[in-house]
Amino acid sequence: MLAPVTLGEQWRKIAGRLPADGGSARVTLRLARDDRADEAALILGPLTPGRTRSVFRLNVRPGVNPDRFFGRLDEAGIRGRLDLVEAEAAPEPSARAMRASVERARPFVEQWDALAASLPPDWSDIYAEVELDSSDFLQRGALLLAPVNPAHYGGHTTLRFRCARVSGYGAAASMTRRCLQRLDEESITGRVRILRALSSTRHVATQGPVWHVGGRSV
């Protein structure tokens, strides 16, 4: 007589049929004995399954591996049957998410050079921001960007600043590029964006233009 297949073995067989791209799955566990249902519920608790008497419904999402929980059921001598109800492939990333991923992978200096090249030749004033990938970078990033006088505004990990090409208020373009290079040198990652830009402005008795963003003058 063949030995009963353990829940761990059943799960590994199901897992081998799941999408390789990190999709999700729904499985049911039907226990062989109703009197072991409460004990099984305690073991499976971290997976937050649905339950009807001795039948459990589990949603397995990317990053969740139920193998060790089925192993604990096996160690406790709890038997049952696992069935795959539905499997879904991971959704395709949106074009916006893909662009953001590419931008984050590029060094800040490369991003800045590409943005600067897209501006009119006579650009004069820029309002820009650096969005850091992690709050762990915020304190050090703000220090490295200090020469451009960054303001913590626009998001939890976002620093905004002004840049002037010829005259006016804001850091020089060369200084801005150097500060972004310092971020790259310390492996700080994220994105840089130009939010607003002006061309061919003339500063008469003023340091330059004033933008109003969110009720604030910047």
**Tell me: the pLDDT tens digits for 11-35?**
999 888 877 666 678 899 999 999 9
- Range of 16-20, 77-81, 89-93, 210-214 with top mean pLDDT: 77-81
Average pLDDT, the chain: 84
Lowest mean pLDDT among 47-51, 58-62, 189-193, 199-203: 199-203
Amino acid letter, 25 = A
Among candidates 179, 197, 199, which has minimal Cα distance to 188?
179
Spatial neighbors of 5 by CB under 8 A, at least 6 apart, are: none
Q: pLDDT-derived band of residue 92, with 50, 70 and 90 as boundaries?
A: low
Element (H, E) at 74: helix 67-75
pLDDT band at 198 (very low <50, low <70, confident <90, very high): confident
pLDDT for res 1: 36
Query: b/e per residue, 119-128, with b = 16+ CB within 10 A?
Result: eeeebbbbbb
User: Token match 């929980």: residue?
Assistant: 69
Instruction: Say if residue 218's pLDDT is above 90.
Output: no
Would you state the structure tokens that stand for residue 90, as one six-digit string? 């991971």
Q: Extract the tokens encoding 111.
A: 């991003």
Is the confidence at residue 38, as pLDDT, over 90? yes
What is the β-pairing status of strands 158-164 and 151-152? antiparallel
The DSSP code for 174 is H
Task: Say what the pLDDT of residue 51 is.
Answer: 92
Report the distance separating Cα 170 and Cα 78, nearest Å. Answer: 69
Strand runs labelled E in the chain: 24-31, 50-52, 55-60, 80-88, 123-132, 151-152, 158-164, 171-172, 190-199, 212-213, 216-217
Residue 26 CA, distance from chain mean position: 25
The answer, yes or no, to whether residue 209 has pLDDT greater than 80, is no
Confidence (pLDDT) at 2? 42
Asked if residues 58 and 66 have their Cβ atoms less than 8 Å apart, the reply is: yes
Q: What angle do CA 151, 154, 157 make, to 5 degrees?
A: 75
Residue ranges and CATH numbers for the domains of the chain are 7-88 (3.30.70), 95-208 (no CATH)
Dist. CA 24–CA 85, nearest whole Å: 11
* Residue 145 to residue 77: CA distance in whole angstroms: 61
Encode 95-147 in three state secondary structure: HHHHHHHHHHHCCHHHHHHHHHHHCCCCEEEEEEEEEECCHHHHHHHHHHCHH
pLDDT of residue 159: 95
Judged by average pLDDT, the poorest of 91-100, 137-146, 193-202, 209-218 is: 91-100
Task: Encode pLDDT of 123-179 as tens digits.
Answer: 888 999 999 988 889 999 999 999 999 998 878 899 999 998 877 778 999 999 999
Mean predicted confidence (pLDDT) in 211-218: 64
Residues of the chain with pLDDT > 90, as a percent, come to 51
